[in-house]
A and B are shown apart, each in its own frame.
Chain A
């Protein structure tokens, strides 16, 4: 699994857009980029997955440049409830069995 690097922490305010960037220089051809969210004392929750370009769902957008060596999770108009740890994972998640290897994640704090 490719090593990922993301900021340890970020601060934002309600209503702002938050962009969390993850570096994964050694991403392999078969690797996908997946983001999970974890609230305190809860299990991680899947947010979004992508392979290239842009993916959008009801929660977030994921931007992946052509070289795929980095990716950016974009959370539009955050609220206090978006305060959580966000994990960027890279691996061959194309389906079937796949263990998840979590890093330290980015601790996002949203302030009033």
Chain B
């Protein structure tokens, strides 16, 4: 079964540093998402991406965040200057679009900001 992959599985960074989280969505999917989950809290929507541009973003997704689909397979989330409160699990998800309604989530990247 095709799956969404994410790298790295765990990233430790110092406050103020830039991080790039990488995702490879399922190959024929058209819509891409980033979510995050702070430890013990609910999954929160960050941003959706379609046709090489952001479709929607939440209040969390401020100017420190950016997304990119640099080629036909990768989908990245960049945090420009990390803060302690950015520590969380970050999940990438994708959906085929059309009449499909199932979002496929990756295994997540655990980001720890020290």
Residue of B at shortest CB range from A91? B101
- Compute how far the CA of A104 lies from the CA of B40 in the bound complex, rounded to whole angstroms: 10
B108 to chain A, nearest CB (A): 5
- Compute how far the CA of A62 lies from the CA of B4 in the bound complex, rounded to whole angstroms: 26
Interface size on B, residues (CB 8 A): 29
Q: Does B45 make an interface contact (CB < 8 A)?
A: yes
A103 to chain B, nearest CB (A): 6
Instruction: Out of B4, B45, B104, name the residue touching A101 (CB < 8 Å).
Output: B45
Report yes or no: B43 in contact with A41, Cβ–Cβ below 8 A.
no
Report yes or no: A99 in contact with B56, Cβ–Cβ below 8 A.
yes
Q: Does B95 make an interface contact (CB < 8 A)?
A: yes
In the complex, what residues of B have CB within 8 A of residue A45's CB? Answer: 105
In the complex, what residues of A have CB within 8 A of residue B98's CB? Answer: 95-96
Interface positions of B (Cβ within 8 A of A): 4, 31, 33, 35, 42-45, 48, 50, 55-56, 89, 91, 93, 95, 97-108, 110
